[in-house]
Amino acid sequence: MCGIFGYNGIEPDGVKKILEGIHRLEHRGYDSMGIAFLTGDKVECFKVAEDEKVGFDIKDLAKKIPNKKVICNIGIGHTRWATYGGKTVKNAHPHFSNGLFIVHNGNVENFEALKKEIDAHTLYSETDSEVIVKLIDKIFQDTGDLVKSIEKVMKMLVGANVILIMSKDHPGQLFAANKGGTILLGKSDSGVIIASDPSAFEGYHIIKKRNLETNEVAVIHSDFWDIIAKEVVTIEEDYLQDIDKNGCDFYMEKEIFEQGAVLRGTMSGRLILDKGNARLGGINEIARELRNVETFHFVGCGTAYNACSYATLLFNRFGISARAWIASEFCYSHPVFGPNDAFFFISQSGETADTIEVVEEIQIKGNICLGIVNVPDSRIARLTDAGVYIRAGKEKGVASTKAFTAQLVTIVLLAIYLARQRKMTIDTGMGIIEELILIPEKIEKVLKQKNSIKRLAEKYKEFKNYYFLGRYFNSVVAQEGSLKLKEISYMHAESYPLGEMKHGPLALIDPSFCSVVIIPNDSVHSKGVVNVREIKGRDGVVIAIVAEGNSFELADDIIEIPEIKPRYEYLYPIIATIPLQLFSYYMALELNCNPDKPRNLAKTVTVG
């Protein structure tokens, strides 16, 4: 969370570059934005936040800079997701102490203790970031050595923290330090870029890049950086391709509508039809070890956790023992697992702190750690022993959409691969693949119903309470549909396996309560119908997601999705999720909520 950007180069339009960098990192938090840059021998600093203008954007920050032709080739920027202190200008970064300016991403867990090390009455904000810069300044005043001061303070911090510093007394240099977080350094034709994630490298020709590893400090010059050298890797160019909204109003809309193409990419080159198998280069080297795994554990948060739930159901369906875990709960719930168990970590960003905590714990135990990740070279991709990329391309919308369906497809590929190592026959594998390759087209068919789903959002916008319900594989769709609606339209939504309704949740049903039921033609359809009757018998309102051709008169409204052959019913979630993404998206628009910037959230959750 929080986006850090820095530029130290040879071109005079540094301010423009930093503003663009902040803009590209907005998905990491948008509670405030700020910039500090050196022009001549003067540091200028500007900030904007929610208390000053609700719904501000990068243009509001740009407007604050009086000299539109300012010459500058070094500076730092920040976009904030509030942790310590409210969404105010006073708490916005960069924070400063004398000539030192800092942007920070992380969480100083021993903040109260460290505050005692400085003169607390000099603090102007409520943030831990200000405490860091004040501490560095204090030590720097005593020692005159900025790098040593930074190193010393980083050692004092508890928690995952990354900082970038500009100093008035060190005009040609920036200083970055990492303890348990992620920060990238990229050398381009026009200078060095420092950023929290690679999306900020867009538009630059990056020649070399490097992650600043934990416990490292970098002194960044206009043409390179000084650190204890490790291997410099070349960045994956495809991932850096510039993305725009492709004519859509919001990234979320663009990402929902590109899912057909995305899933073709996820599968591309990975299906071996005549062998009824999947080819997964990322885990091929450990194929032998995987054959002997007793139980697969899937760990993730939010949408990624919903993908974990799906994986568990699918693996068990194929006779492979599996279990899903919410990452933030794992370490505290005394999990029991054996030495032959393996762990899959599912994460779009590959940077989620709660998930990383579990990776580190499992590494201590010595079990196999595997990643199912979207962002190449992200922390989880680097920490795990092997893994499979979901190939969803850059996901900018804070609410995950295409990454979720790409996770589900990746899980199907994995399940085929691991089940073929065990008891699955060629014929079964071939049958699944034949049905799987039809999925992108089926998704495109659902997307064509956008206008009717939009009308439903308009019709239901007055409802304040929603249940999302489904049985067996579609209980996962219910979980994801409910998360999406509450996340971007702030509606109260809960999800249950449909059969659970009679054990309590039915108590809330009345004509003002809407239940969205996912009930395609699968093996639990008839049981689900009984449960829907129970809702209708209490005057509840029902929107049903049904298989094409099923008029399902019990429901008040239906959304049809293409049929899937009953024996491959486990593929329904991949298409049944789409109408719920559209419903949430259009609901957010109806309620005047910005779907790309849901309140209180950020795309990359790097605090635990």
Of 175 and 310, the one with the shorter C-beta distance to ligand F6R is 310
Smallest distance, Å, CB 390 to ligand F6R? 10
Smallest distance, Å, CB 604 to ligand F6R? 6
Per DSSP, 597 falls in state: S
Q: Is 467 helix (H, G, I), strand (E, B) or coil?
A: strand
Smallest distance, Å, CB 26 to ligand F6R? 15
Residue 369 annotated in active site: no
Per DSSP, 237 falls in state: G
Q: How far apart (Å, rounded) are the C-alpha atoms in residues 54 and 217? A: 36
Whether residue 595 is preceded by a cis peptide bond, meaning omega within 30 degrees of 0, is no
What length does the chain have? 608
Q: How far apart (Å, rounded) are the C-alpha atoms in residues 568 and 57? A: 46
Q: In the beta sheet, which residues pair with residue 218?
A: 176
Q: Which residue is nearest to ligand F6R (CB)?
A: 302
Of 154 and 414, the one with the shorter C-beta distance to ligand F6R is 414
DSSP string for residues in 273-324: GGGTEE--HHHHTTHHHHHT-SEEEEEE-HHHHHHHHHHHHHHHHTT-EEEE
Write down the catalytic residue from 2, 45, 72, 593. Answer: 2
Q: Is 587 helix (H, G, I), strand (E, B) or coil?
A: helix
Q: Cβ distance 353 to 331 under 8 Å?
A: no
Of 38 and 160, the one with the shorter C-beta distance to ligand F6R is 160
**If you count DSSP H runs as helices and E runs as strands, how many of each does the chain have, helices first?**
20, 25
Residue 2 annotated in active site: yes
Mark residue 40 as left, alpha or beta (left: phi above 0; alpha: psi -120 to 50; beta: remaining): left
Smallest distance, Å, CB 464 to ligand F6R? 21
Three-state secondary structure readout of 365-408: HCCEEEEEECCCCCHHHHHCCEEEECCCCCCCCCCCCHHHHHHH
Smallest distance, Å, CB 407 to ligand F6R? 8
Of 32 and 349, the one with the shorter C-beta distance to ligand F6R is 349
Give the β-pairing of 513-518 and 465-470.
Answer: parallel
Smallest distance, Å, CB 179 to ligand F6R? 20
Write down the catalytic residue from 209, 402, 486, 603. Answer: 603
Of 499 and 595, the one with the shorter C-beta distance to ligand F6R is 595
Smallest distance, Å, CB 122 to ligand F6R? 36
| Interacting residues with ligand F6R (CB under 6 A) | 301-304, 347-349, 352, 355, 399-400, 483, 487, 605
**Burial classification of residue 42, based on how many CB atoms lie within 10 Å of its CB (0-12 exposed, 13-18 middle, 19 or more buried):** exposed
Q: How far apart (Å, rounded) are the C-alpha atoms in residues 608 and 327? A: 10
Smallest distance, Å, CB 184 to ligand F6R? 16
**Burial classification of residue 339, based on how many CB atoms lie within 10 Å of its CB (0-12 exposed, 13-18 middle, 19 or more buried):** exposed
Of 217 and 399, the one with the shorter C-beta distance to ligand F6R is 399
DSSP string for residues in 120-187: GGG--SS-HHHHHHHHHHHHHHHH--HHHHHHHHHHH--S-EEEEEEETTSTT-EEEEEESS--EEEE
Joined together, the tokens standing for residue 483 give 């998360």
User: Which are the contacts of 422, defined by CB distance < 8 A and separation ≥ 6?
Assistant: 291, 318, 319, 320
Question: Taking Cα atoms as reference points, which of 559, 335, 360 lies closest to residue 457?
Answer: 559
Smallest distance, Å, CB 583 to ligand F6R? 14
Of 303 and 475, the one with the shorter C-beta distance to ligand F6R is 303
Q: Per DSSP, which regions of 464-556 are E strands?
A: 465-470, 492-497, 513-518, 541-547
Q: Cβ distance 151 to 214 under 8 Å?
A: no
Joined together, the tokens standing for residue 584 give 């949430």
Smallest distance, Å, CB 486 to ligand F6R? 10
Of 7 and 325, the one with the shorter C-beta distance to ligand F6R is 325
Of 182 and 188, the one with the shorter C-beta distance to ligand F6R is 182
Of 9 and 598, the one with the shorter C-beta distance to ligand F6R is 598
Residues belonging to the active site: 2, 603
